[in-house]
Amino acid sequence: MESTRKLHAKKRIALVAHDNKKQELIEWSLYNKDTLANHELYATGTTGLLIEQATGLSIHRLMSGPMGGDQQLGAMIAEEKIGVVIFFWDPMEAQPHDPDIKALLRIGVVWNIPIACDRSTADFLISSPLMSIEYEAKMTDYSKYMTRKIPV
* 70 included as an active-site residue: yes
What is the DSSP code (8-state) at residue 53?
A: H
Q: Which of 19, 70, 98, 123 is catalytic?
A: 70
Residues 6+ apart with CB under 8 A from 122: 28, 86, 88, 116
The CATH number of 8-146 is 3.40.50.1380
Q: Would you state the pLDDT for residue 128?
A: 97
- Tell me the average pLDDT across 138-143: 87
pLDDT digits (tens, 9 = 90+) for 79-89: 999 999 999 98
Would you say residue 114 has pLDDT above 90? yes
Would you say residue 1 has pLDDT above 70? no
Would you say residue 6 has pLDDT above 70? yes
Q: Would you state the pLDDT for residue 148?
A: 87
